Amino acid sequence: MTTTGPQVHRGLTDHRNPNIERLVPEEICRTFTVIPYELTGNLLSVAATSIDNTLAAEVLKRLTGHEIRLAVHAPDEIHEAIAVAFSRGPALLFADAGTASATPLRTGEFLASLGLVTERDVEEALVEQSRTGAQLGEILVASGKISEDDLIAVLSEKFKVQRVSLDGFNPDRDIALLLPEQAANALRCIPVARDGDIVFLAVSRPLDDHEVSVVGRYLGDLEVRELLATKSSIDHLLQRVYQDDYSQFATHSLLELSPENSAYVVATKAQKTFFLLVLLGIIVAGVLWTKETMIGLVGAASVYYLAVSLYKFRLTFRALGHQFETDVTDEEVHNLDERTLPVYTILVPLFREASIVNRLVTGVNGLDYPKTKLDVKLLCEEEDAETIDAIRALGLPPHFRLVVVPDSQPKTKPKACNYGLTQAEGKYTVIYDAEDRPDPDQLKKAVIAFSKAEPRVTCIQAKLNYFNQDQNLLTKWFSSEYSMHYDLILPGLDGDDVPIPLGGTSNHFITARLRELGAWDPYNVTEDADLGIRLARAGYRTTMMDSTTLEEANSQLPNWIRQRSRWIKGYMQTWLVHMRNPFKTLKDMGLKNFISFNLIVGGTFIFLLNPIFWGLTTLFALTQWGFIESLFPGFVFYAASAMLFIGNFVFVYLNVAGSMQRGYFELTKSALLTPLYWGLMSWAAWKGFIQLFTNPFYWEKTEHGLDTEHVAGQGGTS
């Protein structure tokens, strides 16, 4: 709203501030006989011949974005002030790093004189500018010292480019599509209007010559007029215009690129036929040769079980003695030249997690990475108004982008991530969950690790663990398991250079290769594990990095069962997908990787076998039933005995080992009770297995934020 205040007859020649005077173009000043002379907060005082000049006030408001207070001055005095103000050539309102003609000091003085920032803010920003090479204005915006609108106003003045507000703007899709999405996204610009041969292009900063030539390549003979708009509003507009395309990519990219790798179909006809024939064969053999068939089944299961166990034991035992993870030292991080750091995209899928948005923002801001080089995509489902509102209410700086994923099936995390990936600006992309607490220097470590890695390394997986490990017995077990998995098994796989089924978060990708692979499979409920296998099949490699992200361990049994059943179902899905054509997979991966894949991902099926073997053992112990004894002849008996007495303990002990390696000494006692935990895993495995037939794409949502009471009980903050 424009305001008019009491008349002020202060002389315009007193304490002149050229930066404020030239917030409005000379033509406007002369047309309306006005000149700004003072800015207090958001209130711009403007000298005018009359306080009733509402038209002038409205124009000035639109141009500057500030509230306007008109003060009456003599026309001559105003004309004289205009003449003086615009007689000194262009003003240097904004200093770019490395621009010889700009001096940071003047920029700082200017911003301070506008009252937008303090001198101290400017000093800090200059320090960061010298460290990161980012633009001063962007640094101040990212740190929340000035708003995007302020920045645009300043840019507008500097480059004499008209600015435009896109709030509520309804884009003309035909005009917007004059520039292809790829170019629009890369340059962060979008055509918003057309007048004959003139196209008005909304840009977040004036384009350089190269960028102009790129735009010209697409627009041909059309003349381009740039209009400055905030980055957020351009992003928002891009999302609106390309929503359908993004959605199409998110849902169908893999399906179109390599349908044989999509879990869109759980099992192919050939697979169904094969499994049915096997089942039929077993039934027929069971009828004809009951005992022999059962011995064969028990024998095969025992050998398979033993092979999986021995392989995992080998991996973990090797990992105990070696450091296979890429080690990035503190010194290397310290010596990193931040000016060379690339833009890093962080995808954060959110669903009904309004309560932890604040925590998330704090966590991301805690990362030791230049904010101006962060591209944080907060991915929300369209129906999740609560979370969307919570994010909007925070008024986040522009390195946070709210991305609203349109409502469509399947409604899964990978689809949301794919949607976010379409707009990713970073050279590298990482996924974090909302409650994640990565090591502050994890992104820098990943950049260094990529620079050290061999060229085929496409993904670097950080370690995962839990911050609420001591909440209850379930979280203790869960933490022990994670410690073993991420501190021993995955590094062991890395050491063997075999496929690593990725964890749910903290996997860092080279963005271009991720797109090239078709990104995540939206139909696979463990899309991360599947992607790890697809990377290997494509000849790429995943390595581990010695950096940790702490997550929230599931502390409630029903919630844990839901989560675990999804994971196990996803592993089964992944195994089925890549075993559609085992020979092709074998050819793609090589024998070593193929065996490892079948033992690690295919090894999930042992959770289904556990209850059967436990049942047989218990029944035999109670009844000494000879039939059960007869099912375990000779070597089958020894394999089963070795698993029962040695294998079980070894796996318990590896949980203990993982906890100790991680420094969670408090967990060693509970780790000794993990056989009970395996019971829960088998429960979840059967649930997932049944769901594979009944509801294969259903995403069992994990509820987060269940550690609140625990944290409160500890008197801390989560």
Partner 1 sequence: MTVGSESQGRIIEARGIPLPIYTEAPVVLRQNVHPDMVQSPQARSEGSHRLENWLVFSVTVAVYAAVGIWLVTQMQVVSFESLDRLNRALMALHNDPAKLTAIGFDYPPLSVLVLTPLAIFSDMARSLIALPISSALFAGIAAISLNSLLRRCRIPGPFRIGVLAALALNPLVILYASTGSSQIIWVSLMLAGVSSVVKWFVTAQIRYILVAGLTFSIAGVAGYGSLVWALLAAVLIGVVLQRHGARQAEVEGTVIGFASPVVYVIALWTVFNAVILGNPLSWIKRSVTGDERISGSFPDRLLDVLQDLGQVLLATSPLTIVVVPLLIMAMFRRRDEMAGWLAVCILAALALPAIAVLVRSDGSHILMRDGFPVLVLTVAGACWLIRALDAGQAAGALIVIAGLLGSAAFSFYKMSDYPHQNLESSFVEAVTTGNSQEGKITAAGQQVGILSERAMAGYIRRNVTSNGSILTDNSQTFAVMLLSGRPELFFDRVDRGDGAWFKAAETPGPNVRYLLLSRSTADDRLSQIYPTAATASDPTLQAVFTTDRYVLVSVPDNFVPTEEEVSP
Rule CB under 8 A: which residues touch partner 1? 319-323, 330, 333, 368, 437, 439-441, 465, 546-550, 633-634, 637-638, 641, 645, 649, 653, 656-657, 659-669, 672
**How many other C-beta atoms can be found within 10 angstroms of the C-beta atom of residue 58?**
12
- Separation between Cα atoms, residue 707 and residue 434, nearest integer Å: 14
Number of residues written out for the chain:
718
In whole angstroms, how close is the CB of 674 to partner 1 at the nearest point? 12
**Quick one: residue 220, left, alpha or beta (phi over 0 = left, psi -120 to 50 = alpha)?**
left
- Separation between Cα atoms, residue 185 and residue 657, nearest integer Å: 48
Task: Choose between 381 and 546: whose C-beta lies nearer to partner 1.
Answer: 546
In whole angstroms, how close is the CB of 439 to partner 1 at the nearest point? 4
- Specify whether the CB–CB gap between 132 and 142 falls below 8 A: no
Q: What are phi and psi of 506, to 5 degrees?
A: 60, 30
In whole angstroms, how close is the CB of 170 to partner 1 at the nearest point? 46
In whole angstroms, how close is the CB of 463 to partner 1 at the nearest point? 8
Task: Choose between 120 and 334: whose C-beta lies nearer to partner 1.
Answer: 334
- Specify whether the CB–CB gap between 91 and 36 falls below 8 A: no
**Which run of H or E residues covers position 430?**
strand 428-431
Task: Choose between 492 and 602: whose C-beta lies nearer to partner 1.
Answer: 492
CA 466 vs CA 44, 480, 482, 571: distances in Å? 51, 10, 8, 22
**Bridge partners for 551 per DSSP:** 466
Residue linked to tokens 């949301």: 416
Task: Choose between 280 and 621: whose C-beta lies nearer to partner 1.
Answer: 621
In whole angstroms, how close is the CB of 546 to partner 1 at the nearest point? 7
**Three-class SS state of 98:** coil
To the nearest 10°, the Cα dihedral for 216, 222, 223, 228?
A: -70
In whole angstroms, how close is the CB of 54 to partner 1 at the nearest point? 53
- Specify whether the CB–CB gap between 48 and 78 falls below 8 A: yes
Residue linked to tokens 């507008």: 156
Task: Choose between 210 and 334: whose C-beta lies nearer to partner 1.
Answer: 334
Integer Rg of the chain from CA: 31
Task: Specify the amino acid at residue 314.
Answer: R
Buried b (16+ CB within 10 A) or exposed e, 494-526: bbbbbbbbbbbbbbbbbbebbbebbbbbbbbbb
In whole angstroms, how close is the CB of 36 to partner 1 at the nearest point? 42
Q: What is the DSSP letter of 646?
A: I
Q: What angle is formed at CA 486 by the lines to CA 485 and CA 492, rounded to 5 degrees?
A: 80
In whole angstroms, how close is the CB of 621 to partner 1 at the nearest point? 10
Nearest alpha-carbon partner for 206 in 183, 229, 186 = 229
Q: What are phi and psi of 243, to 5 degrees?
A: -50, -45
Task: Choose between 100 and 622: whose C-beta lies nearer to partner 1.
Answer: 622
- Specify whether the CB–CB gap between 111 and 140 falls below 8 A: yes
Buried b (16+ CB within 10 A) or exposed e, 628-664: beebbeeebeebbebbeeebbebbbbbbbbbbbbbeb
Task: Choose between 288 and 622: whose C-beta lies nearer to partner 1.
Answer: 622
Task: Choose between 237 and 490: whose C-beta lies nearer to partner 1.
Answer: 490
In whole angstroms, how close is the CB of 309 to partner 1 at the nearest point? 15
Task: Choose between 56 and 360: whose C-beta lies nearer to partner 1.
Answer: 360
Residue linked to tokens 């009471």: 709
Task: Choose between 289 and 638: whose C-beta lies nearer to partner 1.
Answer: 638
In whole angstroms, how close is the CB of 702 to partner 1 at the nearest point? 21
- Separation between Cα atoms, residue 149 and residue 64, nearest integer Å: 9
> The tokens of 267 are what?
């099992």
Task: Choose between 381 and 436: whose C-beta lies nearer to partner 1.
Answer: 436
- Specify whether the CB–CB gap between 474 and 644 falls below 8 A: no
**Quick one: residue 627, left, alpha or beta (phi over 0 = left, psi -120 to 50 = alpha)?**
alpha
Task: Choose between 31 and 630: whose C-beta lies nearer to partner 1.
Answer: 630
Strand arrangement, sheet containing 3-4: 3-4, 67-72, 43-48, 34-40
- Separation between Cα atoms, residue 246 and residue 422, nearest integer Å: 6
Look at strands 507-510 and 457-466 and give their pairing.
Answer: antiparallel
Task: Choose between 150 and 439: whose C-beta lies nearer to partner 1.
Answer: 439
Q: What are phi and psi of 378, to 5 degrees?
A: -90, 105
Task: Choose between 396 and 656: whose C-beta lies nearer to partner 1.
Answer: 656
In whole angstroms, how close is the CB of 672 to partner 1 at the nearest point? 6
Task: Choose between 434 and 538: whose C-beta lies nearer to partner 1.
Answer: 434
In whole angstroms, how close is the CB of 459 to partner 1 at the nearest point? 21
In whole angstroms, how close is the CB of 317 to partner 1 at the nearest point? 9
In whole angstroms, how close is the CB of 307 to partner 1 at the nearest point? 17
In whole angstroms, how close is the CB of 156 to partner 1 at the nearest point? 37
Task: Choose between 400 and 486: whose C-beta lies nearer to partner 1.
Answer: 486
In whole angstroms, how close is the CB of 366 to partner 1 at the nearest point? 9
